Structure 1
Amino acid sequence: MPQYSNETEHFDRVLRRPQVIATTGLKRSTIYHLISLGGFPRQRRLGASSVGWLQSEIQEWIRQREIRECPAHV
């Protein structure tokens, strides 16, 4: 029988394309264009005809854009 720890395990949520579009504000074509350029997290195959993105990767992509777009305060 498997042993379970009392610690809460972290499971990354999978976002489907409509959720990614709503979260990022990007259109479908822009998402796939950025993926092809290596500028957006790659989708993961969930089944024969479905894909999803890890929420943590989308959040990190948004954070990185905010860092690049915000000038450093001196």
Structure 2
Amino acid sequence: MSQKVYRLKELMDVVGLRRSAIADRLAAGDFPNPIQLGPRAKGWLVDEVDKWLAERMVARDGKAAAVKAAAASKAATDQAAA
């Protein structure tokens, strides 16, 4: 099994978050947990980070679809009232 690993600096570039924001999300349980690579080294599995990013995109797209549906419903209601 060959897994690629992000170290913190690369992770910050990939997800667009700073160290403190990653720490906050880890504490809240809203970010993939790191794996211990050595006594002082941690890393994040690329597959888990990619899945987390995909979940963010789905959440974004779901919200966008809900906003569009609400706008269409309001427009239809406004048109029917006119």
- Give the structure-1-normalised TM-score: 0.81
Q: Which has the higher helix share?
A: 2
Alignment of 1:1-74 (within 5 A): 11-70=2-61, 71-72=64-65
Q: Among all aligned residue pairs of Structure 1 and Structure 2, give the percentage whose two residues are the same amino acid.
A: 29
Taking structure 2 as the reference length, the TM-score comes to 0.73
Select the structure of larger CA radius of gyration.
2
**Unaligned segments of structure 2, at least 5 residues:** 70-82
RMSD (Å) for aligned C-alpha atoms: 1.5
Aligned pair count?
65
Structure having the larger proportion of residues in strand: 1
Q: Name the structure, 1 or 2, with higher relative contact order (CA <8 Å, separation 6+).
A: 1
**Consecutive aligned runs of 4 or more in structure 1 exceeding 3 Å deviation:** none
